Amino acid sequence: MKNTLSESMQSIEQLIHTFYELNSGYAGQPHDWQKLRDLFIPGTTLIPHAIIRDSAPVAEVDLNAYIERVTRFFSQNDFFEKGIIHHVEVFGSIASVISTYESRHAPDEPTPFKRGMNYIHLMHDGSRWRFAGMVWMDESPENLLPEKYR
């Protein structure tokens, strides 16, 4: 891999920023799903903790299923999400990121209606960083974000 560690960190930060940007917008606004697909390695699994059967998370969401689900949501809802703190660990051509997020109904809304954490795996494919897997969970009164990630 030719990137230096600081170049890798910049590339990873930009990748995560782009992901949040592509998942934000006003209701009915078109989203660039092809650009989103290009951020992921084919076959990547996305696991929202909210999908539960018999009290256990189910890992059945591929990128196309994710896009289908959020397209319905975005058609009727304003949604703006941004990363707050990213804790990045890089080892050669793989990386792990803990990214806290905040969600708002408008970009300038002072208080988020939701916060949570993404656990992200990345892989450098020889030319750039791409998502290899993602699990996320929204904050709840019983499970607050750790202080170091707020």
Q: What is the pTM of this model?
A: 0.87
Q: What is the pLDDT of residue 1?
A: 47
CATH number of the domain to which 30 belongs: 3.10.450.50
What tens digit of pLDDT does each residue of 34-80 get? 999 999 999 898 888 765 556 666 566 889 888 988 999 999 999 99
Three-class SS of residue 11? helix
Question: Residue 132 is part of which domain span?
Answer: 5-149
Three-class SS of residue 47? strand
Tally of domains within the chain: 1
CA atoms within 13 A on the CB side of 45: 6
What tens digit of pLDDT does each residue of 117-142 get? 999 999 999 899 999 999 999 998 88
> Contact, 97 vs 72, CB < 8 A?
no
Read off the DSSP letter of residue 112. Answer: -
